[in-house]
Chain A
Amino acid sequence: MDKFRVMVIDDEKIVGDMAKLSLEQEGYEVETFLNGAPALKRLEDVRFDVVVTDLKMKGIDGMEVLRTVKSLYPDTKVIMITAFANLDAAIEALRNEVHDFFPKPVKIKELKASIARAIKK
């Protein structure tokens, strides 16, 4: 059977690297991107089951990624992580049907649990 596909977008390279190592351990197929533009370009070609994105990034930010993903693939779950937790951003993300919202520092176990729930739904 095909592996579930998870995309991780964060301008901090270590976040992508660690998430990839850890999630691959769980049997996911993981692709990482440092900013929104190449990630969205990739999404035009391939559907991902879960997209994990940082909120604040140069150029295309996490909120735009969320909206684009939801318009392209309404079933794809988006998990947002941010170093700058703020209520307005959280509410806007919820309106755009975000699956989960994590402030940094992220607990990888919680992230994994959230991804697992996203796939079961």
Chain B
Amino acid sequence: MKIKHKAILSNAFNLALIVLIGFLAFQNLDLVLTKLRFVEIADDLNASFLEMRLSEKNFYLYRDDKALLAIKEKIADTNKSIASEKADIVRAVGEKNLDELELRLKAYSDAVDNARAGGRSDWRIEERLRAQGKLLKEFSEEITALERARANDIILESKRILLYMLCSVFLLAIAVSHFASHRILGSLRKIERAAKAISSGKFSKIDGVTSKDELGSVVKAFNTMSEELREREEEIIQAKKLASIGTLTAGVAHELTNPLNNISMIAQTYEELYDSLSREQRLEFMGKVDGETERIKTVVKNLLDFSKPKEADLLEADVNAVINKTLTLVQNMLDISNIDTRLHLGDVLPHVYVDAHQIEQVLVNLIVNAIQAMDSGGRLDITTRRCEDCGFVEIEVRDNGKGIPPEYLPHVFDPFFSTKGVDGTGLGLSVSYGIIKNHKGNIRVDSKAGEGSAFTIELPVYKGGDKG
């Protein structure tokens, strides 16, 4: 269901509740009005009955036949008004009570008739008239009191129902809003987190959002994009690696040609001077050939190590050894670019827990960047030291090249950020950052435009056992 539909539905639900409350309140009011109407009628009846009893009293006091006639008139009036209000009275007190009332009125009327016929002397007829009048008055007062009480009850109940309904609507509205916002905001928060992760180079997927609304579509599109970026990143990293290998090839060719030339020259000299060479000299020649093939093997191995796919294989390692091995890869580039390289390798450094190939890759990146920052040659200082308090070994790669402008500094580790135009993929430092973070280490940069840059890598000290 779309968010729009959800909003419409929840609003419609709240509206329906409000209409329901209004309807119930209206109905209760109607009932209360009816009851009040009857209380009014009952009051009229009571007043009539009171007058009848007063006339009755006059009859006893003055033995006046006019008094009985007045009662009869009142009874006739009352019957008339009962007949005209019958529908309302039935609705208020019920058929049974009305029948009873009419019966008692009839009995009273008969008693009045008897009194008139029987004259003043018969005390039993008098007695009966008195009794019937009393009964009629009592019954009338009884149902009037009852109806009054019922009207009060209905008002109280209406009040209570209204209160309950208001509370329910209030709670329901809160619940519906909370549910909707929780679902929508929850999904949005997940998307926000994933977007942040992507901007820091982690192409994570968003899990747990399965709704079929707009957010569901956004999440689906987002996951597809994330997946594609991840695939694309791997392709680009591979391309970058191939490009690095291309850059390295010139240096590597030089590294390979020298030992090959040495072997070739030994072989030619050996052949030429074979007869005049002593046994010791021949053995020395062969030993040198063996030494040169070892050199070639090392160069080829370094090249293979560098181009190996990225898989962290953490082992105990000596940082200085890793740096020296890296330098064999880039030494020629440094020489060609007229870079004065100085090593300040700390002695008695603790070992670190790293994938040496990946750290070499990071160092090659940093050194190649440094070379590119020093167009017309310069000085490269590589320093290793122990950070006593933090449990890290630090590697600092410092150049005196053109430096990084302050506005670019916060972005140098962002994927696809490059100051090299078409020459850079913007991935070198981002990949380096990822590798160092995978090692639970840190990498930071300190740079001043025109004065040079210093990249510092912190690698965790090896603590023994399988995990560093």
Q: Footprint of B on A, CB under 8 Å?
A: 12, 14-15, 18-19, 21-22, 25, 56, 58, 83-84, 104-109
Contact = CB atoms under 8 A, between A and B. Distances in A.
Contacts of A14: 262, 265-266, 288, 292
Interface in B274-309: 276, 288, 292
A105 B260 contact: yes
Contact of B336 (A21, A22, A56): A56
Given A21-B269, A105-B263, A109-B268, 6 more contacts: A14-B262, A19-B265, A84-B250, A104-B261, A105-B261, A108-B272
A18 B269 CA distance: 6
A82 to B, nearest CB: 9
A105 B257 contact: yes
Contacts of A21: 269, 273
Interface string B137-155: 0000000000000000000
Nearest to A86: B250
B210 interface: no
Interface string B243-262: 00000001001100110111
A25 B272 contact: yes
B335 A18 contact: no
Contacts of B288: 14
Among A15, A18, A56, A109, find the residue whose CB has the most chain B CB atoms closer than 10 A.
A18
A18 B272 CA distance: 11
Among A25, A104, A106, A109, find the residue whose CB has the most chain B CB atoms closer than 10 A.
A104
Given A25-B272, A56-B335, A15 B265 contact: yes
A108 B269 contact: yes
A51 to B, nearest CB: 18
B262 to A, nearest CB: 4
20 contacts: A14-B262, A14-B265, A14-B266, A14-B292, A15-B261, A15-B262, A18-B262, A18-B266, A19-B265, A22-B268, A22-B269, A25-B273, A56-B335, A83-B254, A84-B254, A104-B257, A104-B261, A105-B265, A106-B265, A109-B268
A18 B273 CA distance: 10
Interface residues of B, number: 21
Contact of B273 (A15, A22, A56, A58): A22
A108 B265 contact: yes
Interface in B361-410: none
Contacts of B257: 83-84, 104-105
A84 B265 contact: no
B286 to A, nearest CB: 13
Contacts of A22: 268-269, 272-273
A106 B258 CA distance: 10
A18 B268 contact: yes
Nearest to A21: B269
A15 B260 CA distance: 11
Nearest to B251: A84
B264 interface: yes
A54 B143 CA distance: 131
Contacts of A18: 262, 265-266, 268-269
Contacts of A105: 257, 260-261, 263-265
A39 B260 CA distance: 25
Contacts of B262: 12, 14-15, 18
Nearest to A24: B273
A25 B253 CA distance: 32
A106 B262 CA distance: 9
Contacts of B254: 56, 83-84
B257 to A, nearest CB: 4
Nearest to B288: A14
B377 to A, nearest CB: 13
